[in-house]
């Protein structure tokens, strides 16, 4: 076997000529590097490309509103008109930036029965009134079946601005809007409240229990400084998707009718 020895001058020139012919024209180190002895390089996965703007979900920015400020503003309202004006000027909740307009309420502000839903949908956002889309039309028929309409009930939502994509309001958004709902209930002072859907029920009843288990059961609840008998029922939008559940909602409506008659409500 040949012994290793230093290259002579002519041999080194021959090696350099071979490197140049192969395209090597830059020295990268004084000492040779054993690449096989090194750890293999870590593969870096590039971040996924951003989706086109039209495909990305649109989220309302959070403005960092202060719930204590919301409570102070809500408490200052001495009438529903004042409360609506205060909400219209309030910029603490980022939902307002994506909504078309404030959806405050509909119906009779002197009614003794109040209905509370979750949040406005697309049609409500366009018209500025709660429950005016397909679910609202079904709600009107439900009320009519027990002799009620929007002239003798008052309708509001837990959140007065439409969440992007009709998503469920976040806990932060709920915390900023809740003082205004509480004040709204205090000013209307209804004798009976019916919540529509799970999120509204969980907000008013301060519970994490599901709507299927809670619906149809009367409870005395404190909403702000107003205590009232309240009953949860299924949301009309849910009934449109699950027609078989209308029988349950019908029983809840009959319970509301019976309760109103017992109290002598108009």
Q: State yes or no: pLDDT of 107 exceeds 90.
A: yes
The continuous run of DSSP H or E covering 231 comes out as strand 226-233
Task: Give the percent of the chain with pLDDT over 70.
Answer: 79
**In terms of Cα–Cα distance, which of 174, 170, 171, 172 is closest to 158?**
174
**What's the DSSP call for residue 109?**
T
Name the residue with higher pLDDT: 57 or 154.
154
pLDDT for res 27:
59
pLDDT for res 8:
77
Cβ–Cβ < 8 Å for 107, 154: yes
Task: Using pLDDT thresholds of 50, 70 and 90, give the confidence band for residue 34.
Answer: low
Tokens of 16: 């350099």
Rounded mean pLDDT of 78-82?
98
Name the residue with higher pLDDT: 66 or 154.
154
Residues 6+ apart with CB under 8 A from 186: 223, 224, 225, 226
pLDDT for res 37:
58
Q: List strands edge to edge, sheet with 192-196.
A: 106-107, 154-157, 113-117, 192-196, 226-233, 219-223
3-state secondary structure of 29: coil
Quote the mean pLDDT of the chain. 86
Q: State yes or no: pLDDT of 31 exceeds 50.
A: yes
Q: State yes or no: pLDDT of 125 exceeds 90.
A: yes
**In terms of Cα–Cα distance, which of 163, 207, 156 is closest to 186?**
156
**In terms of Cα–Cα distance, which of 183, 189, 176, 224 is closest to 204?**
224
The alpha carbon dihedral of 130, 158, 190, 74 has a sign of negative
pTM to 2 decimal places: 0.76
Phi first, then psi: what are they for 15, rounded to 5°? -65, -45
Rounded mean pLDDT of 85-111?
96
pLDDT for res 57:
44
Rounded mean pLDDT of 61-82?
86
Q: State yes or no: pLDDT of 256 exceeds 60.
A: yes
pLDDT for res 54:
44
pLDDT for res 59:
45
Q: State yes or no: pLDDT of 51 exceeds 70.
A: no
Could you give the C-alpha distances from 84 to 8, 113, 169, in angstroms and in order?
95, 20, 20
pLDDT for res 65:
76
Q: State yes or no: pLDDT of 262 exceeds 50.
A: yes
Cβ–Cβ < 8 Å for 194, 85: no
Rounded mean pLDDT of 196-218?
96
**In terms of Cα–Cα distance, which of 205, 204, 178, 191 is closest to 260?**
191
Task: Using pLDDT thresholds of 50, 70 and 90, give the confidence band for residue 32.
Answer: low
Could you give the C-alpha distances from 126 to 102, 236, 265, in angstroms and in order?
10, 19, 33
């Amino acid at each position: 076997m040949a012994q290793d020895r230093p290259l002579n001058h002519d041999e080194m020139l021959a090696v350099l000529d071979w490197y140049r012919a192969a395209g090597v024209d830059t020295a990268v180190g004084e000492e040779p590097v054993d690449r096989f002895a090194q750890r293999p390089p870590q593969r870096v996965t590039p971040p996924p490309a951003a989706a086109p703007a039209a495909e990305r979900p649109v989220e309302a920015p959070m403005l960092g509103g202060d719930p204590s400020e919301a409570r102070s503003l809500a408490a200052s309202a001495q009438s529903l008109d004042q409360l609506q004006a205060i909400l219209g000027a309030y910029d603490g909740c980022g939902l307002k930036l994506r909504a078309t307009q404030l959806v405050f309420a509909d119906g009779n502000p002197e009614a003794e029965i109040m209905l509370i839903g979750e949040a406005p949908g697309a049609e409500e956002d366009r018209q500025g009134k709660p429950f005016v889309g397909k679910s609202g039309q079904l709600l009107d028929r439900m009320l009519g079946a027990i002799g009620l309409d929007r002239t003798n009930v008052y309708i509001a939502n837990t959140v007065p601005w439409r969440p992007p994509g009709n998503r469920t309001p976040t806990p932060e958004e709920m915390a900023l809007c809740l003082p205004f709902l509480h004040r709204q209930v205090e000013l209307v002072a209804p004798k009976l409240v019916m919540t529509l859907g799970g999120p509204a029920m969980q907000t008013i009843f301060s519970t994490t229990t599901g709507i299927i288990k809670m619906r149809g059961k009367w409870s005395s609840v404190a909403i702000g400084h107003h205590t009232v008998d309240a009953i949860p029922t299924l949301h009309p939008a849910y009934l449109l998707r699950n027609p078989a559940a209308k029988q349950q909602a019908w029983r809840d409506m009959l319970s509301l009718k019976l309760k109103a008659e017992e109290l002598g409500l108009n």
